[in-house]
Structure 1
């Protein structure tokens, strides 16, 4: 049976990769960019690194920074209006998933105006045209939004996150420059890094996994496990390796899907504005345990690449526990909370469970689940 792999047209990796933005913009004949970046990145000079490249090359742009950590329908609508007002012909998304997701939704609506109602993009939208061209510059090593066909927009009115999947939204060029990630504080490095690990493990064990994406996702687990601690301490090699690891898993999971770690995490973000990486990190070990018997021998390989010795002599129960324990240890080492006690209110459990069951990532889980089982998973972490 045939399967599909969708990747960027071009990607640049390594220190100084952002210098190639000017090269690509000129080669493609682009005239003016709408630069999408969040207010903090603008304030602290991270966005300016890219603007300096554009200024040096004499390339025109306008800045759009009305983006919040869990971007909303209103953010997207403002982005569409800004793109039209600027008379731009491409977007440069600088930031983490929030900037990327806002740019993706904006770019899709620009070229597919029949989807101007942002809610119509939820799920697999039947768009006809590629998005307005997007150059993606990640400043976190976590979401891999620069290489995925997914984006998430928050519907504040209905207290839910909309997962959107569209081959037309993938950035045409990604510039994965670890220098753009060097200003990330410890906590953000930890949470986005655990987000990347969650992508890799869920992408490796999802029901839709194939051999090609298994190679990408398993290698990503290895790279992230060896480099996240160092990256949190702002070690340059750790930063560089995390930039690679999160991109590798983006290549993988984008093409085969995720599972219920993301389903449950999306609901925490929508209800409590919980940072996505922290939600994933807290949930991951518990849901790995829940799925363990439905993942064949894959937990043995996860344990192996995370540095556990002697896995070939272990029983399935032993190597599954070893993989889960390795994830717990990494999460603890970088300071992630172990439970949801300070986040979830028990009276919200029914709403959260129903919302998670309806989430677009849920069908990819290797184990069939139910609203009641999801509720029990939430409750076990209180």
Structure 2
């Protein structure tokens, strides 16, 4: 059976890749871009790093600089208004996953109209206005994926949108843009990448292409994430994490994510926990629960990440994997839901709804061990207790 692989038409990776924006626009034939980013990127001068070369090349551009963390339908609507106010032929997405997903969502509505709710899974997005992605965090992999996650402002549902139309036309992956990332963001986005790679590796939709990049991403992240957090100016670690983030994105874009991401989205929607952090909270416990579904793959992951030795048997490798993930969270100071400040009563009250929303997203259906709603509720309770 063949595997369906989707990637950007142009993918440039390495130091200074973002400086090639003018050349990429010319290569693709676009002349009037709308830059989509967030206030921090504007205030810190990241935006100007892209727009100054545009101005020097005589390329007119517009700016929507009001993206918000964990993008909402209100933010997308504001971005769409900016698009409609000009005569643009493409979008440049600058920032973390929130800005990239906002630009993708604007691109869908710019092409097709309607509301974002019309495009949530199981609907498929087949086309959109072109997006050029310039990521500034090493985590989401959104620059190479066919996915966007948008929270419905009214219902607080975190909607997963999928389809070929959400794959950026080009991605400029420049690790130098991550050198100023703070420790917490570095840790959370890096653990998000690790989830992408591990979930793609054990997914029921895994294939030979995704297996290779998933294993590579897991190996790189496990070796470099602690250094990237403790030594923010370490170029070798930053470059490695940026490459792994893109590899993780390639892996899950073509093999899908599983139960961790399915359970993560409701946490983000209801409690506004950053996406990477909510994944990190779930990673050890959901992995431990899922082991019986594919013990051989999980044991191999433990060895690739250096959490188990080459000579360890399967059972020992599985034990060391769970222990290693718990230690990684401890080393990176990942808070649990209570430590992060979530109210215990509200958490408990929302568990049935969160479990239903997680299951409805479709991601848990790719998990090696298939959960029921009651299993997901129990897992949420275990995560609270950690």
TM-score, structure 2 length as denominator?
Answer: 0.94
Instruction: Give the stretch that moved more between structures: 336-345 or 184-193.
Output: 336-345
For 1:313 and 1:364, locate their aligned partners in 2 and report how far apart those are by CA, in whole Å: 27
For 2:250 and 2:132, locate their aligned partners in 1 and report how far apart those are by CA, in whole Å: 16
Instruction: Spell out the pairing of 1:31-180 with structure 2 (5 A cutoff).
Output: 31-113=31-113, 116-128=114-126, 130-180=127-177
Instruction: Spell out the pairing of 1:339-350 with structure 2 (5 A cutoff).
Output: 340=338, 342-343=341-342, 345-350=347-352
User: Offset of 1:106 from its aligned partner?
Assistant: 1.1
Asked whether the equivalents of residues 94 and 138 of structure 1 are also in contact (C-alpha less than 8 Å), the reply is yes
Residue 374 (1) aligns with residue 372 (2): no
Residue 312 (1) aligns with residue 314 (2): no
String of CA shifts for 1:125-148, please: whole Å, max 9, x gaps.
3445x3211110001000000000
Residue 218 (1) aligns with residue 215 (2): yes
User: Offset of 1:124 from its aligned partner?
Assistant: 4.1
**3-state SS of 2:35 partner:** strand
For 1:216 and 1:176, locate their aligned partners in 2 and report how far apart those are by CA, in whole Å: 16
Q: 2:326 aligns with which of 309, 328, 347?
A: 328
Gaps of at least 5 residues in structure 1 are none
| Equivalence for 2:256 | 257
User: Offset of 1:108 from its aligned partner?
Assistant: 1.6
For 1:148 and 1:333, locate their aligned partners in 2 and report how far apart those are by CA, in whole Å: 29
Q: CA distance change for structure 1 residues 142 and 333 in 2, over 3 Å: closer, same or farther?
A: same
User: Offset of 1:340 from its aligned partner?
Assistant: 4.5
Asked whether the equivalents of residues 225 and 306 of structure 1 are also in contact (C-alpha less than 8 Å), the reply is yes
For 1:267 and 1:18, locate their aligned partners in 2 and report how far apart those are by CA, in whole Å: 33
Q: CA distance change for structure 1 residues 244 and 295 in 2, over 3 Å: closer, same or farther?
A: same
Aligned residues: 378
**3-state SS of 1:218 partner:** helix
Instruction: Spell out the pairing of 1:351-370 with structure 2 (5 A cutoff).
Output: 351-370=353-372
Instruction: Give the stretch that moved more between structures: 51-60 or 198-207.
Output: 51-60
User: Offset of 1:335 from its aligned partner?
Assistant: 1.7
TM-score, structure 1 length as denominator?
Answer: 0.95
**3-state SS of 2:134 partner:** strand
Instruction: Give the stretch that moved more between structures: 339-348 or 283-292.
Output: 339-348
| Equivalence for 2:190 | 193
String of CA shifts for 1:344-374, please: whole Å, max 9, x gaps.
5222222222222222312111111111111
Asked whether the equivalents of residues 124 and 166 of structure 1 are also in contact (C-alpha less than 8 Å), the reply is no
**3-state SS of 1:164 partner:** strand
Gaps of at least 5 residues in structure 2 are none
For 2:275 and 2:247, locate their aligned partners in 1 and report how far apart those are by CA, in whole Å: 19
**3-state SS of 1:71 partner:** coil
User: Offset of 1:338 from its aligned partner?
Assistant: 4.6
Asked whether the equivalents of residues 69 and 98 of structure 1 are also in contact (C-alpha less than 8 Å), the reply is yes
User: Offset of 1:330 from its aligned partner?
Assistant: 2.0
For 2:122 and 2:24, locate their aligned partners in 1 and report how far apart those are by CA, in whole Å: 30
String of CA shifts for 1:142-193, please: whole Å, max 9, x gaps.
0000000000000121121000111111111100001111111111011111
Instruction: Give the stretch that moved more between structures: 294-303 or 95-104.
Output: 294-303
Asked whether the equivalents of residues 18 and 172 of structure 2 are also in contact (C-alpha less than 8 Å), the reply is yes
